[in-house]
């Protein structure tokens, strides 16, 4: 009882810093209700969670306080995991939300009155796993969208004769310097890399950022100019030279006040990206890489430091700045704990969730950490105050804002961005709108407690049919959207499987199949339950990791541990992606069609309207 009273008293004090009277009481009631329903935290589109996340947190540096009237107020607006979500169509609490034009309108509104003191940032996965309007145009429109948010100080490279492909290594070597001199420090944009920026390899990544037409282009811009703003990444280095492939940081000047933005991507990127995507690269520890550049920044008299990192976690409830680190779970907690005291703010991503909390590093320094869901549905609105005498951040606050399309700035989408989106949608419409079949009912990727999903069954069946194998395995992370009832278009199927992986046939023994299924929990950040076809199995949650598979059956009979079976997997996991390294042991490997093409052919051949259901392919005990 005493602990409860202390916590409630603390919450009252916290909330009164942002609200007063009945509004504060309403916020307390909302938090208490939220704590009683922890299941609210699992849904990216949960309206109740977003309302709580929108409450502002305030933090003030301890110690002597200079004259607050002299502090410089700077606004940082952050997005993460945009994933090429140019078009509208997403919903939160049955309300329209997101799309590039609506997001742009919100970002413009947030800058009113502080235009010359605002910086827009993104924390990676701005491209990749994108809907067709972006993906089919090599994600160029998603970069062009950000260019439209840039101020007049953001400029494209003047190197018009830069080669598109042949001299990428030279570009790496020449552009690794820590401060780029081809970007104005007053430019109001900066981004970092996520794992999906590497989906097509470093050559295509450099083209996307620095310009040059794709071999299948041009698309909406000729020539394609790249990004008009800098990208930063401190922990991705050339495997031969050890030098960063991009500047590790950039120093922005806001009314002459320097603010450093340091970038990083999760060090596990090679385990979740096709090997060809990260060939020739090394991914270093995030915190170590960030900290390595702090002395260099201090030598340049920079004290205000912001980290953009494509790694994140989940917040179990929306709490204030003095609660322990346990209120946020995930890899971001460990990373923040090891950051240098000079780091003030961390804008995170990757987990497609929200974070709005103060986490402490190992020396007790309070660091503001945010994440704003994904796919254009929200942004982080961060206010910082800088003391001109010390050039350091002395106050910081944040809120996560959902980009509803039926209220506020969402009622007037940005016209320039809307025109860009319309051009992209028109360019891909002939292919995207082709009807493939008709779904009798919704077919979702929602998994049972055992890990089975109806959409996973459909995709695995399509792949096994395409390759005529005994079994098929599909990684759940490769299923990016649900399939709605009614006419099914090519574009919808592309949105579900956007990666362009090819199918691979191989042979594995029964024992290797047991080992493979046990890898669903082994060396994984969370269980990755493969979607399956041609087999059934039971797993025991009470067994230790590495030995959870009880029995695997084919046509009702246990599989033979020494017999070889033919197996289908996509090229990503077939190369050991997502730590499914057993696939690397497969014999007599044969390539097949693209996963999307296999799904299209399979659905086209089904009796219409078609359906897919849960069949009990995966059973869980304990």
pLDDT at 39 over 70: no
pLDDT at 174 over 70: no
What is the C-alpha to C-alpha distance for residues 323 and 207, in angstroms, rounded to an integer? 44
What is the C-alpha to C-alpha distance for residues 345 and 367, in angstroms, rounded to an integer? 6
Question: Strands, E, within 269-353: which ranges?
Answer: 281-283, 304-310, 314-315, 328-329, 343-347
How sure is the predictor about 14, in pLDDT bands with cuts at 50, 70 and 90? very low
Report the pLDDT value the prediction gives residue 68, as an integer from 0 to 100: 83
Between 392 and 55, residue with greater pLDDT:
392
What is the C-alpha to C-alpha distance for residues 303 and 262, in angstroms, rounded to an integer? 13
Could you tell me the CA-to-CA distances from 339 to 80, 302, 320, 345 in Å, in that order? 21, 16, 20, 11
pLDDT at 504 over 50: yes
Determine the CATH number of domain 433-621.
Answer: 3.90.780.10
pLDDT at 50 over 80: no
Average pLDDT, integer, range 236-255: 98
pLDDT at 170 over 80: no
CB neighbours of 9 closer than 8 A, spacing ≥ 6? none
Q: What is the pLDDT of residues 269-288, one digit of tens each?
A: 998 898 899 999 999 999 99
Three-state DSSP class for residue 565:
strand
Average pLDDT, integer, range 306-334: 75
How sure is the predictor about 32, in pLDDT bands with cuts at 50, 70 and 90? very low
Residue 531 · residue 453 · CB < 8 Å: yes
Report the pLDDT value the prediction gives residue 69, as an integer from 0 to 100: 84
Global confidence as pTM: 0.84
- The residues pairing with 307 across neighbouring beta strands, listed in sequence order, are 262, 346
Report the pLDDT value the prediction gives residue 283, as an integer from 0 to 100: 99
Q: Where are the domains of the chain?
A: 1-36, 48-425, 433-621
Report the pLDDT value the prediction gives residue 31, as an integer from 0 to 100: 33
Q: What is the pLDDT of residues 518-553, one digit of tens each?
A: 999 998 889 999 999 999 999 999 999 999 999 999
The CATH homologous superfamily of the domain defined by 48-425: Metallo-dependent phosphatases (3.60.21.10)
Average pLDDT, integer, range 284-312: 98
pLDDT at 571 over 70: yes
Report the pLDDT value the prediction gives residue 256, as an integer from 0 to 100: 93
What is the C-alpha to C-alpha distance for residues 99 and 104, in angstroms, rounded to an integer? 9
Report the pLDDT value the prediction gives residue 61, as an integer from 0 to 100: 64
Report the pLDDT value the prediction gives residue 274, as an integer from 0 to 100: 86
pLDDT at 341 over 70: yes
What is the C-alpha to C-alpha distance for residues 601 and 608, in angstroms, rounded to an integer? 13
Average pLDDT, the chain: 88
Report the pLDDT value the prediction gives residue 57, as an integer from 0 to 100: 56
Report the pLDDT value the prediction gives residue 63, as an integer from 0 to 100: 57
- What tokens does 539 get? 């797993």
Q: What is the pLDDT of residues 506-526, one digit of tens each?
A: 999 999 999 999 999 998 889
Three-state DSSP class for residue 400:
strand
Report the pLDDT value the prediction gives residue 46, as an integer from 0 to 100: 55
How sure is the predictor about 144, in pLDDT bands with cuts at 50, 70 and 90? very high
Between 94 and 60, residue with greater pLDDT:
94
- What tokens does 87 get? 């078009």
Residue 396 · residue 59 · CB < 8 Å: yes
């Amino acid at each position: 009882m005493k602990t409860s009273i202390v916590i409630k008293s603390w919450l009252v004090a916290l909330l009164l810093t942002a609200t007063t009277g009945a509004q504060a009481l309403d916020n307390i009631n909302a938090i208490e209700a939220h704590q009683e329903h922890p299941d609210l935290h699992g849904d990216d589109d949960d309206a109740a969670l977003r309302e709580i996340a929108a409450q502002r947190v305030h933090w003030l540096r301890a110690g002597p306080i200079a004259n607050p009237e002299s502090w410089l107020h700077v606004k940082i607006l952050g997005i993460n995991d945009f994933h090429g979500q140019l078009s509208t169509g997403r919903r939160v609490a049955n309300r329209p939300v997101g799309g590039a034009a609506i997001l742009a309108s919100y970002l413009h509104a947030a800058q009113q009155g502080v235009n010359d003191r605002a910086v827009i940032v993104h924390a990676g996965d701005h491209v990749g796993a994108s809907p067709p309007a972006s993906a089919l145009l090599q994600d160029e429109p998603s970069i062009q969208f950000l260019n439209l948010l840039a101020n007049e100080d953001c400029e494209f490279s003047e190197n018009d004769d830069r080669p598109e492909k042949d001299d990428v290594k030279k570009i790496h070597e020449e552009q690794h310097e820590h401060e780029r001199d081809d970007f104005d420090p007053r430019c109001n944009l900066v981004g970092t890399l996520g794992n999906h920026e590497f989906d097509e390899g470093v050559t295509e990544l450099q083209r996307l950022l620095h310009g040059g037409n794709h071999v299948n282009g041009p698309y909406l811009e000729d020539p394609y100019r790249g990004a008009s703003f800098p990208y930063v990444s401190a922990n991705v280095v050339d495997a031969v030279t050890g030098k960063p492939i991009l500047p590790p940081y950039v120093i922005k000047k806001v009314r002459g006040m320097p603010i450093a933005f340091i970038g990083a991507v999760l060090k596990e990127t090679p385990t979740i990206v096709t090997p060809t995507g990260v060939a020739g690269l090394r991914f270093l520890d995030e915190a170590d890489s960030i900290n390595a550049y702090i002395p260099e920044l201090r030598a340049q008299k920079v004290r205000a430091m912001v980290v953009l990192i494509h790694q994140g976690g989940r917040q179990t409830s929306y709490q204030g700045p003095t609660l322990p680190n346990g209120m946020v779970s995930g890899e971001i907690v460990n990373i923040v704990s090891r950051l240098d005291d000079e780091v003030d703010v961390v804008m995170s991503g990757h987990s497609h969730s929200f974070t709005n909390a103060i986490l402490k590093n190992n020396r007790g320094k309070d660091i503001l950490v945010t994440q704003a869901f994904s796919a254009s549905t929200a942004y982080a609105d961060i206010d910082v105050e800088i003391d001109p005498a010390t050039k350091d951040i002395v106050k910081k606050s944040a809120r996560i804002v959902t980009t509803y399309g039926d209220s506020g700035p969402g009622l007037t989408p940005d016209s320039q961005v809307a025109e860009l989106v319309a051009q992209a949608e028109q360019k891909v419409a002939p292919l995207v709108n082709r009807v493939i079949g008709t779904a009798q009912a919704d077919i979702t990727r929602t998994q049972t407690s055992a890990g089975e999903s109806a959409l996973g069954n459909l995709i695995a069946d399509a792949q096994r049919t395409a390759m005529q194998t005994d079994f098929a395995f599909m990684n759940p992370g490769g299923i990016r959207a649900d399939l709605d009832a009614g006419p099914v278009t090519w574009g919808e199927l592309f949105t579900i499987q956007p990666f362009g992986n090819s199918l691979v046939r191989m042979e594995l023994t029964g024992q290797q199949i047991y080992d493979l299924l046990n890898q669903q929990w082994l060396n994984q950040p969370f269980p990755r339950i493969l979607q399956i076809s041609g087999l059934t199995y039971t797993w025991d949650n009470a067994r230790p990791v590495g030995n959870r598979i009880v029995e695997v059956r084919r046509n009702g009979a246990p599989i033979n541990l020494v017999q070889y079976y033919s197996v289908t997997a996509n090229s990503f996991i077939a190369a050991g992606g997502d730590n499914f390294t057993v696939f690397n042991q497969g014999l007599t490997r044969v390539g097949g069609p693209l996963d999307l093409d296999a799904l299209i052919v399979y659905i086209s051949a089904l009796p219409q309207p078609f359906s897919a259901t849960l069949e009990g392919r995966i059973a869980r005990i304990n």
